[in-house]
Amino acid sequence: MTFISYAQNFEDVMLWRALKHIQNGVYVDVGAQHPVNDSVSKAFYEHGWRGIHFEPVPYYAELLRQDRPDEVVLEVALSDIEGTLELNVIAETGLSTAVDAYAQRHHSEWGLDSQKIQVPVLTLKSALHSLEGKDVHWLKIDVEGLEEKVLKGWDNLVLRPWVMVVEATIPNLPEVDFANWEPILIAADYQFVYFDGLNRFYVAKEHNELVEAFSCPPNVFDDFELRADSHICKGLIASHQASEAELAAEQQKAESLAAQLSQVNKQNEQLQLNGEQLNNHSQWLQKEWDASKLSNEQLQTHSQWLQQEWDASKLSNEQLQAHSQWLQKEWDAFKLSNEQLQAYSQCLQKEWDAANVKINELEQERKNLYASSSWRITKPLRLLSLGVSKLFNALLYIPKGIWWVIKWPFKLILSGLIRYAIKRSAIQSGIRAWLRNYPKLYTHSLLFAQARGINIGAMTSTFPINKTQNTKTNRAQKLQRTGLEEDIDLTSLSPRTRRIYLDLKKTMDSNNKENS
């Protein structure tokens, strides 16, 4: 088990070096104060040792009881006589003292206020009578100026700790102060072995084998670790806290960059959407332009046909003149329509050019975006988003597959119903009468039946079947009948042009009948 040092000045490291061979040892801590911070006994407690603590300050005595429920904590002070004494308690420090001069100096030099309380007093002999005849492996005394009186109340013939550790400086100063009490230990056959700058260590002469352990200060060969909040590590802790603050700032910066990245992605998606919309609009403009050119060609072809009709007519002079005047009006109307179509085509060309300019601007914006630092930095996030999107699209094929499985039985049922209706004229008549109100539905039904090889017969007399597959055949028949390059879409003509076109078509049909 790793040895962790909790003591203020490595006192526990020195004691452990000398006594680590003892299993379940016993200690006495006079002036124990906090159970963890600067505690000499905490490391020994973690290694199975147990002992007795003397702590007159109620706050620290209660902390000791909570942290060490299986140890003895005596809330008393020690001296050479029993009774009571007045203790100057300096809160949240280990400087509480019965010496008024020390309390006043702490107040004047350090601004530390104290509060006086009455505490019971025992001698070391009476307080530790239960340990008579037992081994006590170390005893530490830290009583802020009362060390001499504590030692005077000790019976060294009854209680002989193997190692004694006594604070040997004036409280909170480096000046030594041990001349008054050291003779007591020397007279009790204890040998001074080590001074750490704060405490003096003494070994009982009957345990001279321990003297060698105090020949040098704590070092790397003692194989110990410091607790995380040790005062020796204040600089390291401060540096660690500063590093954590920097990491927190970096994390906050990263979150800010992530938010900016999200905004850039949204803008990019909006740009892509606008680009798609412009592309769609440009395609529509191209189709309109192509349609306008087609209509222009149709009008030119039709004008040529009118000219031929004019040349081939066998009317009388009066009829020819009247007819020529009528044809002239019609020709003017067609020229007007042609000019309108040319103007509209020019308008479409301008819109097409504007769309191309906008597309070029968007393409340049796209290139600038791809060349930006934020786009390169966010590449991993986009790749992750693309992977998630592909996974989501893959999941979307599941309901499509389910629909593919469902629609085939539905189509078989619908095909059977159509065959059943065709074989029964009464049902067929009722369906045709009802479908007259829904031409599109009727057309889709006929296409559905034809695609499955169902003979629909007279069903097609109600409405013509407009199949995209027959578009070229219908156009060829109309071209053969009218001599035009393309059939004219009447919905694209003005009302006046449409009426003229229908009149001409009627005249042509009557001429074809007479010729036949």
pTM equals 0.48
Beta strands in 205-357 (DSSP E): 224-226
pLDDT score, position 310: 63
* Residue linked to tokens 């906008």: 358
Q: In the 8-state DSSP scheme, what is residue 483?
A: -
Structure tokens at 230: 């040790």
N-terminal to C-terminal alpha carbon distance within the chain: 120
**504 residue type, one letter:** L
Q: Is 484:478 a contact under the CB 8 Å cutoff?
A: yes
Output the six-digit token pair for 264: 């850039």
Q: What is the dihedral of CA 291, 295, 296, 300, to 10 degrees?
A: 150
Q: What is the pLDDT at residue 445?
A: 74
Q: Which structural domains are found in the chain, ordered by start?
A: 3-227 (3.40.50.150), 277-515 (no CATH)
For residue 18, CA distances in Å to 2, 15, 269 come to: 16, 5, 73
Three-point CA angle 442, 444, 448, nearest 5°: 115
Cα separation, 501 vs 100, in Å, equals: 125
pLDDT for 471: 46
Residue linked to tokens 């003017």: 332
Chain mean position to CA 467: 54
Tell me how far CA of residue 139 lies from CA of 32, 50, 220, in angstroms.
11, 12, 25
Whether the Cβ atoms of residue 84 and residue 116 lie closer than 8 Å to each other:
no
Give the pLDDT of the chain (516 residues) as one tens digit per residue. Answer: 789 999 989 999 999 999 999 999 999 999 998 999 989 999 999 999 999 999 999 999 999 999 999 999 999 999 999 999 988 888 878 788 877 778 788 878 888 887 888 999 999 999 999 898 899 999 999 998 889 999 999 999 999 999 999 999 998 889 998 999 999 999 999 999 999 999 999 999 999 999 999 999 999 999 899 887 776 666 555 565 666 777 777 777 777 777 777 777 777 677 676 667 767 777 877 787 777 676 667 767 777 777 777 676 555 567 767 777 887 887 787 677 677 778 877 887 887 888 788 888 888 887 887 788 877 788 787 777 777 777 766 666 666 667 667 777 777 787 777 777 777 777 777 777 777 777 777 777 777 777 777 766 655 554 444 444 444 445 445 444 444 434 556 666 667 677 777 877 777 777 777 666
Q: Say what the pLDDT of residue 75 is.
A: 94
Report the alpha-carbon distance of residue 56 to residue 94 in Å, rounded. Answer: 11
Contact 115, 66 (CB under 8 A): no
Find, among 121, 128, 135, 22, the residue nearest to 75 by Cα. Answer: 121
Identify the three-state secondary structure at position 93.
coil
Per-residue confidence (pLDDT) for residue 472, from 0 to 100 = 44
